[in-house]
């Protein structure tokens, strides 16, 4: 019996560790942003503490607390696109696991 092979698609690289992610491998998650433009960030996620997605979420939560202390309304969906938060997020992702 011939089994039909499912196509394997390249999804993207993890925005934190730069690992290549494919459709036939589990352990990754997409984190979409819609403002100012639609951007999808992909992260490694194995469901355990310490995954790239967990590290990113912890960073964003800490940044959100600091923004609230600075009287920035984080209930608005575009607070991450404002300076200096946008630069801080970009720098965090650029440095990735190397730091």
Low-confidence ranges of the chain (pLDDT < 70): 1-3, 34-37, 47-50, 98-99
Give the pLDDT confidence score for residue 96 in this predicted structure.
Answer: 85
Q: pTM for this structure?
A: 0.77
Give the pLDDT confidence score for residue 1 in this predicted structure.
Answer: 55
Task: Find, among 52, 62, 66, the residue nearest to 21 by Cα.
Answer: 52
Give the pLDDT confidence score for residue 5 in this predicted structure.
Answer: 76
Ramachandran bin of 75, using left for φ above 0, alpha for ψ from -120 to 50, beta for the remaining angles: alpha
Give the pLDDT confidence score for residue 23 in this predicted structure.
Answer: 87
Give the pLDDT confidence score for residue 63 in this predicted structure.
Answer: 95
């Amino acid at each position: 019996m011939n089994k039909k092979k499912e196509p394997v698609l390249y999804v993207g690289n993890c925005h934190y560790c730069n690992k290549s992610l494919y459709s036939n491998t589990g352990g990754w998650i997409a984190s979409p942003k819609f403002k100012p433009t639609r951007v999808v960030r992909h992260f490694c996620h194995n469901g355990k503490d310490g995954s790239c997605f967990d590290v990113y979420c912890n960073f964003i939560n800490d940044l959100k607390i600091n923004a609230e202390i600075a009287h920035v309304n984080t209930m608005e969906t575009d607070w991450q696109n404002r300076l200096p938060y946008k630069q801080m997020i970009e720098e965090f992702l650029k440095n990735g696991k190397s730091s």
